A = this chain, B = another copy of it.
Amino acid sequence: MTQKTTIRDVAKYAGVSVATVSYVINGVKKVSDETKQRVLQAIQDLQYQPNFTAVSLSTNKSNMFGILIPLVEDTLAPVFAGNQYYSELISGIEYVSRKNGYDFIISGASNPNECRNWVTKRNLDGLLFLGSFPEKLYEEMKTLHTKIVLVDAYEEYSRLYHNIRMDDELGGYIAACHLAERGHSRIAFVAPGINNPIDRRRFLGFENALKEHHISVNPEWIFLSGDGAFQSGYNIGMRLMQSKATAAFATSDILALGMMKAIHEHNKEVPLDYSIVGFDDLIISQYSSPSLTTVRQDVFNKGAIAAQTLIDTVESKQPRAQTVTLPVELVVRDSTRFL
């Protein structure tokens, strides 16, 4: 168990003071070429690696940020358990973090106090909010000096913080257009709710598309499931079959797949009897029977951009709050047909 080599070891080895070594490493003050070479050589020879903890203490910068994820209430487990969306998002974040020498820690805590402690205790440089959180949390965070980037948040916070989101409105729009252009006029809208930032925008686009095609939005065909579970989709599938709608746009593939399951189990067929469009383009969606027409979003990329934005902000390359809206595209598969 060899003692870890410190900056002092390097200094002694190179025959200079620790300050000089530090200056060489950080390039913040001029050092003669000759000395610099000696120091570099020493670092090389001793396999020196600055201790982040010490750096952090002294610079008050940790090269580390936190990721906040909603909890599922009853279990207190983070919502990303078994959720492709989150795992892909984090994957994107990990990718650019690593490239930039940052690390991140994850917490499901949404208690404002706990959360503030987390940030100060760990000396976090920044915070990434994935999804929407209780109002109080945003309030609390405002008093912190941490840099914050939001992902998929309400517009009202966009003035304060960076906000990375998909073009959800466009997504709802192209999904509805697709159905309308295929001759459908009785089109249902299916979502967990209509008051969360995402579904709200998707509904707006949906509405606009119908308007443009001179189709009126029938409130009876707005189905809200409460959550995004497969089973909820199944239940809505049942209700859909009791309505007169011939098509549906669901704001998540899981819901759409649940609906399809219900439809099939009751001797109806997709797309023969009902045309279904989803949202997300999960991996399974291309493998379901029939494969699912859906609005594709590049979640990995979204995570990557969110992380990059945060890092830029921390390093003050990114001046002020800015909203980035990423494109979505329609992937036409076999779950929709011409009426």
Which chain A residues numbered 71 to 86 have a C-beta less than 8 Å away from chain B? Answer: 76-78, 80-84, 86
**Smallest CB gap from A291: residue in B:** B261
Instruction: Decide: A51 and B120 in contact? CB cutoff 8 A.
Output: yes
Known: A84-B84, A87-B84, A289-B289. A77 touches B95 (CB 8 A): yes
Give the residue of B57, B106, B264 whose beta carbon is less than 8 angstroms from that of A53: B57
Chain B residues positioned under 8 Å from A52 (CB to CB): 121-123
User: Is A49 engaged at the interface, CB distance under 8 Å to the other chain?
Assistant: yes
In Å, the complex CA distance between A82 and B204 comes to: 28
In Å, the complex CA distance between A76 and B95 comes to: 8
Subset of 28 A-B contacts with CB under 8 Å: A49-B121, A50-B121, A51-B57, A51-B120, A52-B122, A52-B123, A53-B53, A53-B57, A64-B105, A78-B94, A78-B95, A80-B87, A80-B90, A81-B87, A82-B283, A83-B84, A83-B87, A84-B87, A87-B87, A87-B90, A94-B106, A98-B108, A103-B105, A103-B106, A103-B122, A104-B105, A261-B289, A289-B289
Chain B residues positioned under 8 Å from A195 (CB to CB): none
Instruction: Decide: B95 and A91 in contact? CB cutoff 8 A.
Output: no
Chain B residues positioned under 8 Å from A13 (CB to CB): none
Instruction: Decide: B287 and A258 in contact? CB cutoff 8 A.
Output: yes
A94-137 to B contact mask, C-beta < 8 Å, 1/0 = 11001000011111110000000100111100000000000000
User: Is A323 engaged at the interface, CB distance under 8 Å to the other chain?
Assistant: no
Give the residue of B87, B103, B109 whose beta carbon is less than 8 angstroms from that of A86: B87
Give the residue of B49, B95, B117, B289 whose beta carbon is less than 8 angstroms from that of A120: B49
In Å, the complex CA distance between A39 and B52 comes to: 31
Which chain A residues numbered 291 to 333 have a C-beta less than 8 Å away from chain B? Answer: 300
Instruction: Decide: A62 and B51 in contact? CB cutoff 8 A.
Output: no
Instruction: Decide: A230 and B287 in contact? CB cutoff 8 A.
Output: yes
**Smallest CB gap from A87: residue in B:** B87
Known: A64-B105, A77-B300. A264 touches B283 (CB 8 A): no
Give the residue of B82, B117, B283 whose beta carbon is less than 8 angstroms from that of A49: B117
Instruction: Decide: B1 and A145 in contact? CB cutoff 8 A.
Output: yes
Instruction: Decide: A287 and B300 in contact? CB cutoff 8 A.
Output: no
Known: A83-B87, A88-B81, A109-B98. A4 touches B120 (CB 8 A): yes
User: Is A235 engaged at the interface, CB distance under 8 Å to the other chain?
Assistant: no
A323 to chain B, nearest CB (A): 25
Chain B residues positioned under 8 Å from A28 (CB to CB): none
Chain B residues positioned under 8 Å from A272 (CB to CB): none
Chain B residues positioned under 8 Å from A54 (CB to CB): 57
In Å, the complex CA distance between A283 and B283 comes to: 13
A109 to chain B, nearest CB (A): 7
Chain B residues positioned under 8 Å from A282 (CB to CB): 82
Instruction: Decide: B94 and A88 in contact? CB cutoff 8 A.
Output: no
A303 to chain B, nearest CB (A): 9
Give the residue of B64, B121, B287 whose beta carbon is less than 8 angstroms from that of A261: B287
User: Is A56 engaged at the interface, CB distance under 8 Å to the other chain?
Assistant: yes
